[in-house]
Chain A
Amino acid sequence: MSLMAEPSATGRFGEFGGRFVPETLVPACQELEAAFIEAWADPEFRAELHHVLTTYAGRPSIVTECKNLSEQLGIRLFLKREDLNHTGSHKINNVIGQVLLAKRMGKKRIVAETGAGQHGVASATAAALMGMECKVYMGAVDVERQALNVFRMKLLGSEVEAVHSGSRTLKDAVNEAMRDWVATVETTHYCLGSVMGPHPYPWMVREFHRVIGQEARAQSIELYGDVPDVAVACVGGGSNAIGLFSGFVDDRTRLVGVEPAGGAAVGRAQPGVVHGMRSYLMQDEYGQVQEAHSISAGLDYPGVGPEHSYLASIGRAEYPSVTDAEVIEAFQLMASSEGIIPALECAHALAWIVRAAPEMQGQTVLMNLSGRGDKDVAQMMDVLGR
Chain B
Amino acid sequence: METQFREKRAAGRKLLVPYITGGLAGWQDAVRAAAAAGADAIEIGIPFSDPVMDGPIIQQASQQALEQGATPVSILHDARSLDVSIPLAVMTYYNTVHHAGHERFAAQLAAAGIVAAIVPDLPLEESGPWCEAADAAGIETVMLAAPTAPDARLPLVVARARGFVYSVGLLGVTGERDTLAHTATALARRLKAITDVPVLVGVGVSNAAQAHEAVQVADGVVMGASVVRRLLEGGADAVGEFVGDVRHAIEH
Interface residues of A (CB under 8 A from B): 10, 18-28, 165-166, 171-172, 175, 178-179, 182-186, 271-276, 278, 281, 283, 286-289
- The SS class assigned to the A binding surface is mixed
Interface residues of B (CB under 8 A from A): 48-53, 55, 59, 63, 66, 71-73, 94-96, 98-100, 120-126, 143-150, 153, 157, 168, 170-173
- A337→B127 CA distance, assembly (Å): 54
Are the CB atoms of B157 and A23 closer together than 8 Å?
Answer: yes
A-B interface pairs (CB < 8 A), number: 115
What distance in Å separates the Cβ of A166 from its nearest Cβ neighbour in chain B?
7
Which residue in chain B gives the minimum CB-CB distance to A287?
Answer: B99
Q: Which of B55, B96, B148 contacts A24 (CB 8 A)?
A: B148
- A31→B120 CA distance, assembly (Å): 20
* Given contact pairs A182-B173, A272-B99, A23 touches B59 in the complex (Cβ within 8 A): no
- A272→B153 CA distance, assembly (Å): 27
Contacts of B157 in A (CB 8 A): 23
* Given contact pairs A179-B55, A186-B148, A19 touches B171 in the complex (Cβ within 8 A): no
Which residue in chain A gives the minimum CB-CB distance to B120?
Answer: A22
Q: Which of B96, B121, B145, B171 contacts A184 (CB 8 A)?
A: B171
Q: Which of B51, B59, B126 contacts A20 (CB 8 A)?
A: B126
Are the CB atoms of B52 and A175 closer together than 8 Å?
Answer: yes
What distance in Å separates the Cβ of A65 from its nearest Cβ neighbour in chain B?
43
Q: List 6 tightest A-B contacts by C-beta distance, closest first.
A: A287-B99, A183-B172, A24-B146, A288-B49, A23-B146, A23-B144
* Given contact pairs A24-B168, A166-B50, A288 touches B66 in the complex (Cβ within 8 A): yes
What distance in Å separates the Cβ of B138 from its nearest Cβ neighbour in chain A?
23
A-B contact pairs, 23 of them (CB 8 A): A10-B125, A20-B94, A20-B123, A20-B126, A22-B121, A22-B123, A22-B144, A23-B124, A24-B146, A24-B171, A26-B124, A26-B148, A26-B149, A166-B63, A175-B50, A182-B53, A184-B171, A186-B171, A272-B99, A274-B50, A286-B96, A287-B96, A289-B95
Contacts of A283 in B (CB 8 A): 95, 99
Q: A179-B172, A182-B52, A289-B95 are in contact. List 14 more A-B contacts (CB 8 A).
A: A19-B125, A21-B121, A22-B120, A23-B143, A26-B125, A26-B146, A26-B148, A27-B148, A166-B49, A166-B50, A166-B63, A183-B173, A185-B171, A272-B99
Which residue in chain B gives the minimum CB-CB distance to A183?
Answer: B172
Which residue in chain A gives the minimum CB-CB distance to B119?
Answer: A20
* Given contact pairs A272-B98, A286-B99, A288-B66, A27 touches B171 in the complex (Cβ within 8 A): no
- A123→B84 CA distance, assembly (Å): 52
* Given contact pairs A22-B144, A182-B171, A283-B95, A27 touches B53 in the complex (Cβ within 8 A): no
Contacts of A172 in B (CB 8 A): 50
Give the residue among B63, B99, B143, B171 with the most A Cβ atoms within 10 A.
B99
- A182→B183 CA distance, assembly (Å): 14
Are the CB atoms of B52 and A179 closer together than 8 Å?
Answer: yes
Are the CB atoms of A24 and B121 closer together than 8 Å?
Answer: no
Are the CB atoms of B95 and A272 closer together than 8 Å?
Answer: yes
Contacts of B148 in A (CB 8 A): 24-28, 185-186
Contacts of B121 in A (CB 8 A): 20-22, 273, 276
- A286→B97 CA distance, assembly (Å): 9
- A27→B150 CA distance, assembly (Å): 8
Give the residue among A27, A166, A172, A288 with the most B Cβ atoms within 10 A.
A288
Are the CB atoms of A289 and B49 closer together than 8 Å?
Answer: yes
- A24→B124 CA distance, assembly (Å): 12
- A212→B63 CA distance, assembly (Å): 41
- A172→B59 CA distance, assembly (Å): 12
Q: Which of A10, A165, A178 contacts B59 (CB 8 A)?
A: A165
Contacts of B173 in A (CB 8 A): 179, 182-183
What distance in Å separates the Cβ of B5 from its nearest Cβ neighbour in chain A?
20
What distance in Å separates the Cβ of A341 from its nearest Cβ neighbour in chain B?
34
Are the CB atoms of B149 and A27 closer together than 8 Å?
Answer: yes
What distance in Å separates the Cβ of A57 from its nearest Cβ neighbour in chain B?
31
Contacts of B171 in A (CB 8 A): 24, 182-186
What distance in Å separates the Cβ of B127 from its nearest Cβ neighbour in chain A?
10
Contacts of A20 in B (CB 8 A): 94, 121-123, 126
Are the CB atoms of A24 and B94 closer together than 8 Å?
Answer: no
- A286→B50 CA distance, assembly (Å): 13
Are the CB atoms of A273 and B168 closer together than 8 Å?
Answer: no
Q: Which of B123, B143, B172 contacts A182 (CB 8 A)?
A: B172
Are the CB atoms of A23 and B48 closer together than 8 Å?
Answer: no
Contacts of A24 in B (CB 8 A): 146-148, 168, 171
Contacts of A19 in B (CB 8 A): 123, 125-126
- A183→B171 CA distance, assembly (Å): 4
Contacts of A275 in B (CB 8 A): 50, 52
Contacts of B72 in A (CB 8 A): 286-287
Which residue in chain A gives the minimum CB-CB distance to B55?
Answer: A179
Contacts of A175 in B (CB 8 A): 50-52
